[in-house]
Chains A and B, each alone.
Chain A
Amino acid sequence: MSDFFLTQVINFGTPLIGLILLLGALGLPVGASVVVIAAGAFSQQGVLDWPSAILIGLVGAVLGDMLSYSIGHYAKSWTDKRFGNSPTWINASRSFHKSAGLAIYFTRWLITAMAVPTNLIAGGSGYKFSHFLLYDVTGELTWILLYGGLGYWFGSQWELVYDFISNFGRLILGLVIFGFGIKQALNWQEKKKHTANLATDEK
Chain B
Amino acid sequence: MSLNTPPKQRAMVIGFIILGILFTVFFGMRAFHSYKKFNGHRPPPPGKVETDVELIRDWMTISFISETYRVPERIFYDALQIPPLGNHDKSLKDLNREYYPDTDGFVLETAKTTILAHQPPSPTDGSAATTIPPPTALPPVTP
Residues of A within 8 A of B (CB): 3-4, 6-7, 10-11, 45-47, 153-157, 159-161, 163-164, 167-168, 170-171, 173-182, 184-185, 188-189, 191-192
Contacts and interface: CB of A to CB of B under 8 A. Distances in A.
* Range of interface residues on B (Cβ < 8 Å): 35 or more
Given A7-B59, A7-B91, A156-B55, A181 B27 contact: no
Given A157-B55, A181-B16, A188 B5 contact: yes
B89 interface: yes
B30 interface: yes
Interface string B1-42: 110110000000111110111111111101100110110010
Given A3-B59, A174-B28, A178-B17, 7 more contacts: A6-B60, A154-B43, A164-B31, A171-B31, A174-B25, A177-B19, A191-B2
Contacts of B61: 7, 10-11
Nearest to A168: B31
Interface in B62-92: 63-64, 67-68, 89, 91
Contact of A171 (B28, B57, B64): B28
Contact of B13 (A163, A164, A184, A192): A184
A87 to B, nearest CB: 12
A192 B2 CA distance: 6
A105 to B, nearest CB: 21
Among B4, B16, B58, B89, which residue has the most Cβ atoms of chain A within 10 A?
Answer: B16
Contact of B21 (A10, A45, A178): A178
B2 A180 contact: no
B38 A163 contact: yes
Contact of A189 (B2, B31, B34, B37): B2
Given A6-B59, A181-B20, A47 B44 contact: no
B50 interface: yes
A116 B46 CA distance: 37
Given A174-B24, A174-B27, A174-B28, A153 B2 contact: no
A167 B31 contact: yes
Contacts of B44: 155-157
Contacts of A159: 55
A177 B16 contact: yes
Given A157-B55, A189-B1, A178 B24 contact: yes
B41 A154 contact: yes
B98 interface: no
B52 interface: yes
A161 B37 CA distance: 10
B40 to A, nearest CB: 9
Nearest to A175: B24
